[in-house]
């Protein structure tokens, strides 16, 4: 059973979703919230597995609210505006429901959340049939970036620089949040400021790994707290 909260500033929307939830035995409604502040308090006081979350709300939007949570529950976005779908995908939402919501469409979204094969945002392994790309927000747009194009990631305060085969992308993101979205074991944290695509490593030189940047060798440091895990990968694949 999934313990659920609804977050919407429209009373009618709250009532409709409440009635839908009552029809599904696998769902238990914990709280109805009219804004993100109420939702935050509900999550702190209760174990919450799933949020039905409106996007357009006063003060704090649903997207801003989810981004503020260190370990968000599963989320199904509910909105009257289709232009937010890409951002919902970027946040690894279970589903994205456009209002007015039919019960059939609601049930389809719930079944996705109930599926034990569903991977939450905090889980890093990508299923074999999962996407091989990620959307990165930069330059006021969402850029589709294939995992295979990423060479390494460099952390810089509140920003990260994603170095690709063809250039670089600078995005407002923390290293930890991006690390959680990159598939493992392909990507490995080797330093507090670096994540590397293991398939892009050309050589290991002492406490450094070598990749290629703009046709030239580029050395990345390996932190002492990360070296043991890297050595396990090396030993497993060495002759």
pLDDT tens by residue, 127-164: 444 568 888 888 878 888 899 999 999 998 778 999 99
Taking the model in full, what pTM does it have? Answer: 0.50
Mean pLDDT for 196-221 is 91
For residue 186, the model assigns a pLDDT of 87
For residue 87, the model assigns a pLDDT of 56
The CATH architecture annotation of domain 133-236 reads Beta Barrel (2.40)
For residue 116, the model assigns a pLDDT of 44
Q: Is 190 helix (H, G, I), strand (E, B) or coil?
A: strand
For residue 128, the model assigns a pLDDT of 43
pLDDT digits (tens, 9 = 90+) for 14-62: 999 999 999 999 999 999 999 999 999 999 999 999 999 998 888 888 8
**Confidence tier at 118 by pLDDT (50, 70, 90):** very low
What is Dmax (Cα atoms) for the chain? 65
**Confidence tier at 85 by pLDDT (50, 70, 90):** low
Mean pLDDT for 187-213 is 92
For the chain, the 3-state helix, strand and coil shares in percent, each to the nearest 5, are 30, 35, 35
For residue 92, the model assigns a pLDDT of 75
Q: Cβ(68)–Cβ(93) under 8 Å?
A: no
For residue 102, the model assigns a pLDDT of 93
Determine the topology of domain 2-114 in CATH: Rossmann fold (3.40.50)
Mean pLDDT for 223-228 is 90
So where are the chain's domains? 2-114, 133-236
Alpha carbon distance 149, 165 (integer Å): 6
């Amino acid at each position: 059973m999934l313990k659920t909260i609804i977050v919407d500033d429209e009373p009618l929307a709250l009532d409709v979703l409440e009635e839908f939830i009552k029809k599904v035995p696998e769902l238990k409604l914990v709280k109805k919230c009219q804004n993100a502040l109420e939702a935050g308090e509900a999550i702190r006081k209760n174990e919450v597995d799933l949020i039905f979350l409106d996007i357009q709300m006063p003060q704090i939007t649903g997207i801003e609210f989810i981004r503020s949570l260190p370990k968000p529950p599963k989320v199904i976005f509910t909105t009257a505006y289709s232009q937010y779908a890409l951002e919902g995908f970027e946040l690894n939402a279970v589903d994205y429901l456009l209002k007015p919501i039919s019960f059939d469409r609601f049930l389809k979204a719930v079944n996705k959340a109930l599926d034990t094969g569903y991977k939450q945002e905090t889980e890093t392994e990508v299923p074999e049939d999962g996407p091989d790309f990620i959307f990165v927000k930069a330059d006021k747009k969402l850029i589709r970036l294939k995992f295979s194009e990423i060479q390494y990631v460099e952390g810089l305060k509140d920003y990260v620089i994603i170095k690709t085969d063809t250039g670089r992308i600078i995005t407002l993101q923390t290293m930890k949040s991006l690390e959680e979205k990159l598939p493992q074991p392909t990507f490995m944290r080797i330093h507090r400021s670096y994540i590397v695509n293991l398939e892009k490593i050309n050589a290991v030189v002492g406490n450094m790994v070598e990749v290629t940047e703009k046709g030239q060798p580029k050395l990345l440091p390996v932190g002492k707290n990360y070296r043991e895990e890297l050595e396990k990968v090396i030993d497993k694949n060495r002759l």
